[in-house]
Amino acid sequence: MKNIPRFAVVGHPNKGKSSIVSALAQDDSVQVSDTPGTTKRRKVYPLKVDGEIIYELIDTPGFQRARRVLAYINHNQQYAHRRFERILEFIKEYKNDPKFRDEIELLEPIVDGAGIIYVVDGSKPYGTEYEAEMEILRFTAMPSMALINIIGDEDYSKEWKQALNQYFKMVKTYNPLKAKFDDNIELLEAVSYLNEDWTKQIKNSIEILKNDHRKKIDYTAYLIASNIVESLSYVEKIEIKSDKVSDDKKEQLEKKYKNSIASFEANTQKKINSLWNHNRLQIVQNNLDILDTDLFSKQSQSLFGLSKQTMILTAVASGGVSGAAFDMLVGGSSLMMGSVIGATIGAASAFFAYDKLAEITILGQKLSTKELVIGPMKNINFPYILLGRSLLYAKVIINRSHAMREEENLKDKINIAEEYIDLQTRKSLEKLHVKFREEDEISQEDIENYSKLLIKLLKKIL
């Protein structure tokens, strides 16, 4: 069996050990709580890429009786080379003693060869009560590093570093709640030098993780592109029996159309969550207040879409301004859709198209039917609204630590479509938007070309 790097994350209770495991294992199933002693038993969390384990993190209970364990190790023992044996003797003697359950749980994986990641809260002053557990860990002679996790508002990291450097081969500051991919890679780079037997393997693992990260960004762009294609080309229809259509029927059709496109967006968000291993994330619409705006509202247009001037420049550059489209650009107030063949519907002054998709057919000289149709989406601004929302969502998910359990608070409401998509890119996008709206079958090549444009945009905003 492959010798996989394993790390036991240890320390005092309630110092953020489980959060660090969650962040580094990219696993949001790790139980994280402010309540001391939440972790009762050690548990292994492997980080896998394509089914292969890259490394394992071991979440452990916190030290409870470190001074008594240290006293046992030092009892009648003056020789350094015997201390590791004394730790083994302690584990054997007290393995079934509930008083030392936590110490046994955290020491067993270490004596079995796991490296040590010792966690302290740098927002609390250093105290001598930590020295017993640090001394025990030093006696194991296993590769070790200390992480200073500043949980509160104060910062005592300077005094912590002075103490920790006496016990551990490496000391770093690490906030698991704010850690992004590059922060984790930097930490792994440091870990690779703790033990020369790990160096090659961990560096290889880093390359695997970087490649996997790139693939996930590419596939995120593909998911967004697929959503744009589906939304722009979507057609909703209901059967009618005469040319005269009631307002109720029109409103029913509009509602179905909106709900369908909104569901495409929600499903895309869920797929992005799953791709980035945020499987327990309840963030869709209810937590990102900025995304809680109606997809078809003026507020959504203002937050995510292009300004009227930018829309006109885009349409002119792509040769898209003519007839009803120009009228909608310069005079329309709606985010709605349509090549206009009929009426103006609803208080929002939204334009709809009522194309007859089926000819009147006489069956037995008695029955004729038609279909009331809305779509495909013609509004030049709508795909940029979808893009702005999707790219913002992707940015949040990609940069979100798996240790985070709080709702997102988006302070910087950046209009991605307006600020990050230049004219040349919009021109390229718009050529594809036209195809998505008008062609019955969208080629895989067009979707891939669209994805490539979105990959560049994603890398810009991350």
State the average pLDDT for the chain.
82
Ranges of each domain in the chain: 6-194, 210-461
Q: Give me the pLDDT at residue 34, please.
A: 59
Task: State pTM to two decimals.
Answer: 0.84
pLDDT, tens digit, 9 for 90 and up, residues 271-323: 999 999 998 775 444 444 555 566 777 777 777 888 877 877 777 777 654 44
Q: What is the mean pLDDT of residues 16-34?
A: 86
Per mean pLDDT, which range of 11-20, 74-83, 182-191, 391-400 is the poorest? 74-83
CATH class of 6-194: alpha beta
Do the beta carbons of residue 32 and residue 22 sit within 8 Å?
Answer: yes
Q: Give me the pLDDT at residue 345, please.
A: 29
pLDDT, tens digit, 9 for 90 and up, residues 329-352: 444 434 433 333 222 222 222 223
Burial class, 274, CB count within 10 angstroms (exposed 0-12 / middle 13-18 / buried 19+): exposed
